[in-house]
Amino acid sequence: MIIGASSGIGAALARSLARRGYALALLARRADALDALCQELNAAAGETRAAAYTHDVTDYELIPGLFQKLLADLGRIDSVVYAAGVMPTVTFTEYNFDKDKAMADSLLLGAMAWLGQAATLFERMGEGQIVGISSAAGDRGRVLNPGYAASKAGFSAYLESLRNRLTRRGVNVLTVKPGRVDTEMMRGAGITRGLYPADKTAEAIARAMHKRKQVVYIPGWYRWLMLAIIHTPSFVFRRLKF
């Protein structure tokens, strides 16, 4: 399952996993984009490799029933990837609760609603993998877009908590922390410089899933950059404009 699969990292990962032979249930709000992606993947495979399910992750009350439907349709679920989210443009002097709430609803609360279902299933199975597309932006509180940083920080903490619960039950939890990836969401937020290709990001995620990694930064050198940023003194960090 890939939740948030109609574009960006989710769509790129769907292509990567389809090439590896995965059977995919793809979820997203935009039915047209999702259907087009499934048609592309199935045509390339020469068989039905991907099925589309239109869904808004903020419809929390629908998630338990939809999860059970997906389980019945697929017969088995081995991996659940949460890649959904929004990132509206936020100016340096803007404090907009509606934008912050939209980010928290999709980036954090939707993830908790879906991955709680996955955790329950996988714990009972004694196997499986949860993958959360978080962000390096959650490692520190940055001056730009506080709502996004806070949502991603909360998501990373939630994934770590799941990992600490589920590892002992045979379940792997992978936290993916990309830098700036070339996606519609990033460009829509006005960020166009220093973008890493989405297809390369997806390939790195697929490799990390295969190796059952626990935390990966993409590109790999971001780990060292973020290590430096994490240990930058607050009185210096607050003067940076990113």
* Rounded CA separation 39/216 (Å): 30
> Taking a C-beta distance cutoff of 8 angstroms, is the pair 60, 73 a contact?
no
* Rounded CA separation 104/47 (Å): 37
Whether 148 is catalytic is yes
* Rounded CA separation 105/60 (Å): 10
Helix or strand holding residue 3 (H, E)? strand 2-3
11-15 own/partner pairs: CB under 8 Å, 24+ apart: 11/37, 11/198, 12/198, 12/199, 12/201, 12/202, 13/81, 13/83, 13/202, 13/205, 13/206, 14/41, 14/50, 15/40, 15/41, 15/199, 15/202
Of 148, 158, 196, 217, the active-site residue reads 148
Indicate the angle between helix axes 146-166 and 110-125, nearest 10 degrees: 10
Active site members: 148
